[in-house]
Amino acid sequence: MIRLGVNIDHVATVRQARGERYPDPVQAAVMAELGGADNITCHLREDRRHIQDRDVWVLKDTIKIPLNFEMACTKEMLAIAKKLKPHAVTLVPEKREERTTEGGLDLKKNLKALTAVTGELQDLGIAVSLFIEPSVAAVELAAKTKAKAVEFHTGFFCHRVDEMTLTADKVKLVETLTKASTAAHQNDIQSHFGHGLHYGNASWLQLVPFAEEANIGHAIIGRAIFSGLERAVRDMRDCLNDSRFMPLPSMGVSFKATKAKG
Ligand code: PXP
């Protein structure tokens, strides 16, 4: 079973575009929960371009499933996370000019700060995940921070797999995720995935032996415009856990009996 985390930032983006009180990301989180989401993700950006501080507190009080709080590794965000005490924090790089999070953390440059923030949060019982590039080298650096999880940036994977026409090439591309995920497993780190996943490519994660969680926003909120959010969430859960997905005739999907650790 691959858990689905639903990112509700895009609902706040629509609200902020008009400066109104709707659509409400908290309401979206409740609908996502009804549709079978395993957790809710929101990113309180430093520029507050979508999610606002109030949303985060109301979300924490409202949803019954875990809250995954995405944040930059800054003093301001650390103080908020320590008060909020979400189930999990995902540390992400943040650039003001970017449209969305464009790459993984620069672990080499920021190792000291990331290790300190990870330690402070995990001492409070908050599981920390680091948003990183899907490479063995990145996992080995992430392991130094003692973070419980990594979220592999799937942006490049998604673009490539969408472009490829040959199934065998797609299967080969999955190996990059498998290698990184195996390295994470060997370091006792959970493997999460996020960015660019949609209804046409998310099923490929089922071929990654230690995939535990996918965090998906844009595709689900986009689909919800036409199908409603509950249905959009249910359909994405099905894509991540599709027993009929067998890209090559010789290939069975090995459903993983991996257990969540925190
Ligand atoms: N995971 C992280 C760390 C992200 O920054 C984002 C983008 O907000 C996502 C997952 C979701 O990406 P998408 O909206 O492309 O599904």
Whether residue 260 lies inside any domain: the answer is: no
The predicted pLDDT at position 257 comes to: 47
Measured in Å, residue 67 CA sits from the centre of ligand 1 at 15
Whether residue 148 lies inside any domain: the answer is: yes
What's the average model confidence in pLDDT over 33-57? 98
- The tokens describing 109, both together, are 């440059």
Centroid of chain to Cα 89: 11
Whether residue 253 lies inside any domain: the answer is: no
**Which residue minimizes the CA distance to atom 6 of ligand 1?**
195
**What are the pLDDT digits (tens) for 65-77?**
999 999 999 999 9
The predicted pLDDT at position 149 comes to: 98
CATH number at residue 142: 3.20.20.70
**What are the pLDDT digits (tens) for 184-232?**
999 999 999 999 999 999 999 999 999 999 999 999 999 999 999 999 9
The predicted pLDDT at position 211 comes to: 98
What residue spans of the chain are helical by DSSP H?
A: 9-18, 25-34, 53-62, 75-84, 107-123, 136-144, 155-163, 167-186, 218-227, 229-240
Whether residue 101 lies inside any domain: the answer is: yes
The predicted pLDDT at position 252 comes to: 54
CA distance 111 to 58: 32
- The tokens describing 124, both together, are 């409070």
- Strand pairing partners for 21? none
The predicted pLDDT at position 76 comes to: 98
CA distance 99 to 180: 26
- By the 8 A CB rule, do 62 and 26 touch? yes
CA distance 84 to 225: 31
Whether residue 261 lies inside any domain: the answer is: no
Measured in Å, residue 250 CA sits from the centre of ligand 1 at 33
The residues carrying an active-site annotation are 43, 70, 195
Q: Domain count for the chain, please give it.
A: 1
- By the 8 A CB rule, do 168 and 207 touch? no
CA distance 147 to 137: 15
Whether residue 262 lies inside any domain: the answer is: no
Q: What's the domain range around 117?
A: 3-245
Whether residue 51 lies inside any domain: the answer is: yes
CB of 133 within 6 A of ligand 1: the answer is no
The predicted pLDDT at position 198 comes to: 98
Whether residue 209 lies inside any domain: the answer is: yes
